A = this chain, B = another copy of it.
């Protein structure tokens, strides 16, 4: 060992002890004949004192930032104590030192507030990883990993490794593929998730499975997506939805406790997908704050069981509302005080192409009870009052109203709500609110192919009382313009998402475990019998030999860590992330490979002769 102690462990009670430390030079400060050096390692920082007798030696072997240094010396009490760091009461009186390795001047400063831009820090990721901010993130990640494993172990889950070189069954996302040298012309695929394997393990009787495992999707990378990402992947047998919800909200609560010291004792809220869309405009609502959406008007074809307030805005000759498919309102607490400028800015904000609205109407509900609006021309104060009441506004609030097509307007209102929540400080970083979103539609309609696609994945079971609907109806959509009236449109999935502060952190479902139902599902998704057997024959086969009822969930590990760490970016929680083009700029990967490699694999690049 190059050290007797780490740089984080010496205390006042060690005074007088002869110690050997090793670490990196954080700072060098000269005061006349004395030199102070802060020595850093993973565990902390210790102050070193080089006295006069080492002056010559320091002259010959000057120390620089990030040099790797080994020292011997004696622990002594500091005269000038530093209460910020754990070792702040002591320093080391150096008797000898050895420079174990030198360092060039780093291309950016290794500090919390570094001067390095994103690109340079990614290229020199091994230096960026030295920064305390990044180190804390990876420590948090490990703590989450450890906590999850402990909880799952205590609950009889077994970590079972599933293969990485599997079969390509593109369905939804694109597979990464791996050419096989030993089976020429054939390819493995990297798993998008261990879904079918964990289901097979249930068929095999393993009862409770988990894995913290890399998954791969060859998607065009939006901001904050990675081609390889990590899941906490779990599956249980002989369970119903309720059992899964209980088991896994406790997992997340345990992680809160172990990692953040937070006792999350509240019951986890539950909300149907329909209510989430209706009240918040999206399926992963941030419920740290209210400002629920009031639906003034909606088309009859969607949310068929919900009632709007169309009467409040009708018969006023306001062509914008009259011609709009959908009109939605939110009441913004204290918003009556918004200035004209603020309202103009918000109007510009909703008109940005990402939001795509034509404008923003508003009603001020003043503290004195009077109401003034941008649509005074069309609506009397009485009417405004009724709208304000419907939207749940209080005196002092402002009601914002958006109008347009159903999907876009709901999305825009949801975005506006989140933006205003942010501006109003209602999305507190240190507040955590969990939510289960339930009862998703089993299918989504694909206009391109005029067929159903699985909203979750093709292994998700319908609600038990809707299995019959699924089996007994023909999935073919005869009338594309009226797809919502097809019985399949009403089938709800036995599926659940866990949402934390407006982010989906996990999702899963009770699975299909009957061959007949699974075949019907594949058929509903437009797969021929031949295709479904080619792709998933092993699973259909397995269902013939005593498959138990089962279900599971997968958590996005990177995302979970980033939220717990209070960051927007999952990249900050990955040791060696890729950029938005899927490149590792440190390694310079991907890269060209040698012709001999291509030949051995019996493939060639297109455009070659």
A-side interface residues toward B, CB under 8 Å?
1-3, 6, 22-25, 40-43, 66-68, 70, 100-104, 106, 124-127, 129-130, 135, 138-139, 141-142, 145-146, 149, 153, 158-168, 170, 174-183, 185-190, 197, 200-201, 203-208, 214, 216, 218, 220-221, 227-228, 230, 238-240, 243, 513-514, 537-538, 541-549, 574-576, 578, 581-584, 586-594, 597, 599-607
Contacts of A583 in B (CB 8 A): 183
**Given the complex of chains A and B, what is the CA–CA distance between A170 and B593 in angstroms?**
9
Contacts of A125 in B (CB 8 A): 200
Contacts of A538 in B (CB 8 A): 126, 586-588
Flag if B68 contacts A575 (CB, 8 Å). no
Interface centre among A188, A240, A599 (most CB of B within 10 A): A188
User: A129: nearest residue on chain B (CB-CB)?
Assistant: B204
Flag if A163 contacts B41 (CB, 8 Å). no
Flag if A602 contacts B605 (CB, 8 Å). yes
User: A21: nearest residue on chain B (CB-CB)?
Assistant: B238
Question: Can you report 23 residue pairs joining A to B where beta carbons are below 8 Å apart?
Answer: A1-B238, A3-B238, A23-B205, A41-B207, A42-B207, A101-B543, A101-B548, A101-B549, A103-B544, A129-B200, A129-B206, A164-B190, A165-B216, A167-B588, A167-B589, A168-B591, A178-B178, A181-B218, A186-B590, A200-B576, A538-B588, A602-B605, A602-B607
User: A541: nearest residue on chain B (CB-CB)?
Assistant: B124
How many chain copies?
2
Flag if A67 contacts B216 (CB, 8 Å). no
User: A188: nearest residue on chain B (CB-CB)?
Assistant: B590
One of B181, B206, B602 near A606 (C-beta < 8 A): B602
**Given the complex of chains A and B, what is the CA–CA distance between A203 and B110 in angstroms?**
13
Flag if B101 contacts A547 (CB, 8 Å). yes
Given contacts A66-B546, A103-B544, A159-B145, contact A165 B206 (CB under 8 A): no
CB distance from A152 to the nearest CB of B (A): 11
One of B135, B574, B575, B592 near A185 (C-beta < 8 A): B592
User: A607: nearest residue on chain B (CB-CB)?
Assistant: B602
**Given the complex of chains A and B, what is the CA–CA distance between A164 and B582 in angstroms?**
12
Flag if A162 contacts B576 (CB, 8 Å). yes
Flag if B181 contacts A178 (CB, 8 Å). no
Flag if B603 contacts A170 (CB, 8 Å). no
Contacts of A186 in B (CB 8 A): 590-593
Interface centre among A126, A208, A604 (most CB of B within 10 A): A126
User: A547: nearest residue on chain B (CB-CB)?
Assistant: B101
